[in-house]
Structure 1
Amino acid sequence: MLFQKSSTRTVTRTLSLTAAAIALALVATGCSAGTAGGSGSSGSSGSKNYKITFLPKNLGNAYFDTSDKGGAAAIKEFKGTYAEVGPATATADAQVSYINTLTQQNVGAIVLSADDPTAVGSALTQAKAAGVKIVTFDSDTDAKYRDIFINQATADGIAKIEVDLITKQIGDKGEVAILSAAANATNQNAWIDLMKKDLAANHPNVKLDDVVYGNDDDQTSFDKTAALLQTYPNLKGIISPTTVGIAAAARYLSTSAYKGKVALTGLGTPNQMRDYVNDGTVTAFALWNPADLGYLASYAAKALIDGTITGKEGDSFKAGKLGTFKVGAKGTVLLGDPYTFDKSNIAKFNF
């Protein structure tokens, strides 16, 4: 799996959730994003509306910074207009406001990482009725609310690699905990349910003490890590299936008495975790290629806009440098398998 930096993109950062402020922010983004997309203000190639806006769970998140740059690179290739908007804090209610405004702005597609599988449903239904194509990535909605879901890896694969990593690091014996993102995050909950089943079925000497939520906020995740270690003095390991959470937990462990005594793994980016791997705070962690995830999502949006796919199982489309992909059951497109990073390979990656 290869990773590469993509071109810069214009980001709309607005903390106001009033409709007027959001609308003004989107207009500003749309005007400036033409340069990043390489197509001018029309956002289209011929008669196609290639105005594609990424709506991550929250802005200022290193994982989404990387995935959305990958999306911008793809959109530039097919001469569309890229934009990114989103709330400062990961909440479904905040995403609803952006979806509604994007619908009013007549974008061609919204590429969304959903904070909740149903809370954004009504807004997405209205967007689809207005002709907007809906691509979810990273975290899905209920299938009826979108056209395509770009899945970073199978839930089984993600859960298994995290359990395998933590149990190996603690000698398959002892107490562990999970530091998740938001309590209603679709992808996190699916992985956690599978991790619980794997632990119960295959690791009888490992006890899951607790699941706590850092809400994809650095300070909250840092504080939750501290609280876990105080609450469970015999804790041997922490799994954090969120890039914000694992980095915050590593930061806490790296300067604490628990460094080298409490194992930490989960999902992170190499640039976030490099120092913690090199100094021995973290042995190994996993992730897929977030830049490729965003890149693939953009090409899926293009194929939907072109009408070459509808989201039906068996549909196929070309995704630039990544090749051809097929749509699976329930409109899902799979990027690939997760990848393990450790001291032997982390220097090779830059994202």
Structure 2
Amino acid sequence: MSEHIIGIILNGVTGRMGARQHLERSIVAIMKDGGILLPSGNRIVIDPLLVGRNPNKLRQLAETYGIPKWTTDLDCALSDPNYQIYFDSQTTALRVPALTKAINAGKHVYCEKPVALDLSSALELAKLARIRGVKNGVVQDKLFLPGFRKLRRVIDSEELGRLLAVRADFGYWVFERGDEGGLQRPSWNYRREDGGGIILDMFCHWRYLLDNLFGNVISVCCIGAIHIPERYDEFDRKYQCTAEDAAYALFQLEGNVIAQFNSSWATRVRREDLFVLQVDGTDGSAVATLRDCWVQPSSATPRAIWDPDSPHREDYFSGWLLLPDRAKPDNAFRLQWEMFIKHVVADTPFPWDLLEGAKGVQLAELAMLSWRERRWIDVPPLNEF
């Protein structure tokens, strides 16, 4: 058995999600397990290099996770031939310039979404990566969550029959100020000029979920809202919100499937999880959350009778079958990280490239156009540049 050392530049993992999901639960977890074992018996060992703008945060992360190498000099990191992969989880407004540098430096690139603030920039990145011949990928984490992996198996089994409609409810209440608990989301999320807004943030997720699970999106109708007009930033200073904190959308998919998604940071949760998705078919229905999936076939579907004058006696939850876990669920981010690293080292397939990431930006951009013009907007294919 031999070891293949792969150097990875991690830029922007000082943020909460980057530190928790990408660094601690993915890269560090892989390192603690001794790397990634290939079918050949060879092992991939990770050599991480932390990059960011705040030296104090970098130093703290390095000490916490036992990572000896960090720097605030991105150009210096990109010039090091020992690091073949560049990863970016900075704020969206900073992503395109950094990815462009990395691609021009010959690095394989992997990044969070949205890949860019606008479709034109996202497509330019994808073109540049193809011209430079570097491998590239975009995080599509919800495809790897246990609940949606189970839902994928249910759909592939065809036990739901012909798919009819999809209904999804995402969100939770984001408090206007941090108070004792701290801010739940960074203040830039609510400023359009800084790349904020729930449409750009979440429709990139909805695009890959819809395309991969139910059928390609062919049109969108959307309306957004700034429900909470004033919030407080990280220094408890009041500011005006210029980006929407909620969006309500209809999507038409291939195969005449209709999807409706409510996305809100101004809603209180009374459902199984922060994100609940139901798909109805001719032979059954399924409901998926981040971790679980329930199925109700036609044979177990109750015969509902509309009678608002009679006491409610039907338990509509009891007729659903909870699908068991086949094994202990792995972290969704780690699963995709391992796939991308193997894609770089062993040339295994990895379909979620920068062009797939651009599709998410496209849907967000067209949803914003639909909101402005108050009409349905067609979603053209992005199979060619």
Bin of the TM-score, shorter chain as denominator length: 0.3 to 0.5
Q: TM-score, normalised by structure 1?
A: 0.38
More strand by share: 2
The alignment's TM-score, normalised by the length of structure 2, stands at 0.36
Greater gyration radius: 2
| More helix, by proportion | 1
